[in-house]
Structure 1
Amino acid sequence: MSPVRIAVLNLMPFKEVTEADFLRLLKGVSTPVEVTWMRLRTHVSKHTSAAYMELHYRYFDELRQERFDGFIVTGAPVELIDFEEVDYWEELRQIFDWAHANMKSTLYICWGAQAGLYHFFGVPKYALPRKMFGIFSQRVLSAVPLFEGFSGEFPMPHSRHTEIRRSDLERHPDLEILAESPVSGVSMVMTPDAREVFITGHLEYEPYTLDNEYHRDLGRRDDVDLPKNYYEADDPSLKPVDSWHEWALRLYENWTSLYLAKKRQDA
């Protein structure tokens, strides 16, 4: 079987960390995967060298004529900025429309999910009084193939200062709410046939990502608490409990095999 081709628009500041997070999952699935990293012309990364970006990333306008099976849009540290005020918003909108027209399925992650929901459906985001930070149990609401092998609940890491609300999503009949938590809210939303899948958390995170964020922001921000349901005995001197990796791997296995590879065979 030839590999499924996935393009990843990496909007996170520390590119190599995010690359490792996604490759950890995509290399663990049964379907061969070829990953291409995309960057923006309208934004220059401040935390990754120009030489690294030149070597490992390609611009959207260089890739838009190529054929890919799937697409991933990562989160970005701009969630407290209005969408239209983000310096690369217009280019991002072009990319979203390109993905909608050309991909079998796209995963929009965290701020990427909020941006995608706003672009396609006008769904707003709302600032939270405290950062949603930790591992929260999500209830499965729909028996879609994406959840094959899942039980009724699964854990998902969250790290965000804004939220979307169920009441806004319910106004759109083409949006199906797939999973939610009474604490962290709606976590997964899908359009028909999984053309777009919006995920408000970070199943791709490796075990120490939240730990690194916590110690980075400790004393620098006043809205960051100890990540919930994360450390052994809620003690930050102990190891984090990687409770979500099994479920993350299942989700990406289902996405690549049932939505990307299978749709290619059926085409």
Structure 2
Amino acid sequence: MSILIDKDQGVLSPALVPAADDLARDDTALTIGLINNMPDTALKATERQFMKLLQAAGGSRRIRFHCFSLPSVKRSPEARWHVESEYSDLADLKRQKFDGLIVTGAEPVTPNLDQEPYWRDLTDIIDWAKSNTRSTIWSCLAAHAAVLHLDGIERRRLPGKCSGIFDCVPITADPLTRAAPAPLKVSHSRLNEVTESDLTRHGYEVLTRSGQAGVDIFVRQYASRFVFFQGHPEYDALSLQREYLRDIGRFLARERETYPAVPVSYFDAVTEEKLARFEKRAKHQRHPALAGELPALNLRSDIAAGSAAAAIFRNWLGFLAEDAATAVPAR
């Protein structure tokens, strides 16, 4: 399914966004693919978030947008129906010309990435994208999987989950971060990391980092420019809240043993105090019904969700448009 992302169009879901009849004749439009491997609970939210992000970044530029998902990612019947009915077949990815590609992570089900059921499909996409896109973005777990496959860089387990809004600063001049707000406020949500020393030793260039969260954006040039995010540029203001509440629910249902930490620099001070009191109660009265007694949650007023990502993606789309006018990637 080819979807039009245009400046003034409402964006809800691929199922609700018709393709324009004249889109196929528009030689200036960019063709972007999203391989959405996020878990079922975040599947639809992720497609909407990336569509809105591309719309905000694209301005008057028209974008052909295709959603895909790796068939080896395990899905519930409802999510599988959504993918089969509303997403393009993954085989179409290699039959059509794509200017840019975005690949998300997936919820891990094994301790090692190369043992995941979708590993072979994902590495096939990594190898294909090196010479068949102008640029590919790898987000969060997909970034970790890509550097493991490309250079054998192993991710490292963090002492605790890295979750929150972190101030990230550019450490080198690059067109991708031009005119971006400083610092960039970026959502991170992960249990693992790849370190700056491992990346630079293998020839990657780190563009932004956080004193608390470590490496944020890094790049590597092949025939395609690979851009890696350890964070989640697509997250909206409530994404971390949804994850946090999900993890509290899992703790209360005894589906996880540890109580989740409050996301960093995310809730306001009054909410953090309420959540600290609720945590004590939850550990003492651990029962699923307690989730209904969570306090009202208020976010900090300065999280500026999406502004940094819109600037980064505006520069990325500009790079794709400029490169399209001067070169054709090897195919």
Match of 1:131 among 135, 138, 161: 161
Correspondence for 2:219: 190
CA distance in 2, matches of 1:235, 1:191: 41
By percentage of residues, which structure has more helix? 2
Correspondence for 2:269: 233
Match of 1:53 among 75, 83, 86: 83
Once the 2 structures are TM-superposed, how far is the Cα of residue 152 of structure 1 from its aligned partner?
Answer: 4.5
By percentage of residues, which structure has more strand? 1
Moved more, 16-25 or 72-81: 72-81
The answer to whether the Cα contact below 8 Å between 1:211 and 1:240 also exists between their aligned partners in 2 is: no
Once the 2 structures are TM-superposed, how far is the Cα of residue 79 of structure 1 from its aligned partner?
Answer: 7.6
**Structure 2 unaligned residues grouped into runs of 5+:** 1-26, 273-296
Structure of greater Rg: 2
The answer to whether the Cα contact below 8 Å between 1:8 and 1:72 also exists between their aligned partners in 2 is: yes
Match of 1:177 among 201, 206, 222: 206
Correspondence for 1:77: 107
For 2:266, the aligned partner's letter is Y
Q: Equivalent pairs: percent with the same residue?
A: 31
Correspondence for 1:118: 148
Once the 2 structures are TM-superposed, how far is the Cα of residue 247 of structure 1 from its aligned partner?
Answer: 1.1
Once the 2 structures are TM-superposed, how far is the Cα of residue 145 of structure 1 from its aligned partner?
Answer: 0.6
Question: Residues 225 and 70 of structure 1: is their aligned pair in 2 closer, same or farther, counting only changes over 3 Å?
Answer: same
Give 3-state SS (helix, strand or coil) of 2:88's partner. Answer: strand
**Structure 1 unaligned residues grouped into runs of 5+:** none
Once the 2 structures are TM-superposed, how far is the Cα of residue 178 of structure 1 from its aligned partner?
Answer: 0.5
For 2:33, the aligned partner's letter is A
Asked whether 1:64 is paired with 2:97, we answer no
Q: What is the TM-score normalised by the length of structure 1? A: 0.93
Moved more, 86-95 or 45-54: 45-54
Once the 2 structures are TM-superposed, how far is the Cα of residue 244 of structure 1 from its aligned partner?
Answer: 3.4
CA distance in 1, matches of 2:187, 2:131: 30
The answer to whether the Cα contact below 8 Å between 2:181 and 2:307 also exists between their aligned partners in 1 is: no
Moved more, 150-159 or 231-240: 231-240
CA distance in 2, matches of 1:132, 1:63: 33
Question: Residues 153 and 41 of structure 1: is their aligned pair in 2 closer, same or farther, counting only changes over 3 Å?
Answer: same
For 2:265, the aligned partner's letter is N
4+ residue segments displaced more than 6 Å = none
Across the aligned residues of Structure 1 and Structure 2, the Cα RMSD in angstroms comes to 1.9
Of structures 1 and 2, the one with the larger relative CO (CA 8 A, separation 6+) is 1
Match of 2:53 among 4, 9, 25: 25
Once the 2 structures are TM-superposed, how far is the Cα of residue 144 of structure 1 from its aligned partner?
Answer: 0.7
Question: Residues 168 and 80 of structure 1: is their aligned pair in 2 closer, same or farther, counting only changes over 3 Å?
Answer: farther
Once the 2 structures are TM-superposed, how far is the Cα of residue 151 of structure 1 from its aligned partner?
Answer: 4.8
The answer to whether the Cα contact below 8 Å between 1:138 and 1:181 also exists between their aligned partners in 2 is: yes
**For residues 172-228 of structure 1, what are the alpha-carbon distances to aligned partners after superposition, in whole Å with 9 as ceiling and x for unaligned?**
13x101111111011111013771001000121011010111111015141621111
Match of 1:224 among 234, 240, 260: 260
CA distance in 1, matches of 2:199, 2:79: 39
The answer to whether the Cα contact below 8 Å between 1:40 and 1:59 also exists between their aligned partners in 2 is: no
Asked whether 1:248 is paired with 2:276, we answer no
Question: Residues 12 and 240 of structure 1: is their aligned pair in 2 closer, same or farther, counting only changes over 3 Å?
Answer: farther
Match of 1:6 among 32, 41, 61: 32
Once the 2 structures are TM-superposed, how far is the Cα of residue 58 of structure 1 from its aligned partner?
Answer: 2.4
Matched residues, number: 265
For 2:196, the aligned partner's letter is R
The answer to whether the Cα contact below 8 Å between 1:203 and 1:244 also exists between their aligned partners in 2 is: no
Give 3-state SS (helix, strand or coil) of 1:40's partner. Answer: coil
The answer to whether the Cα contact below 8 Å between 1:117 and 1:198 also exists between their aligned partners in 2 is: no
Give 3-state SS (helix, strand or coil) of 2:173's partner. Answer: coil
Correspondence for 1:109: 139
The answer to whether the Cα contact below 8 Å between 2:140 and 2:190 also exists between their aligned partners in 1 is: yes
CA distance in 2, matches of 1:184, 1:79: 24
CA distance in 2, matches of 1:230, 1:35: 31
Question: Residues 217 and 157 of structure 1: is their aligned pair in 2 closer, same or farther, counting only changes over 3 Å?
Answer: same
Give 3-state SS (helix, strand or coil) of 2:187's partner. Answer: strand
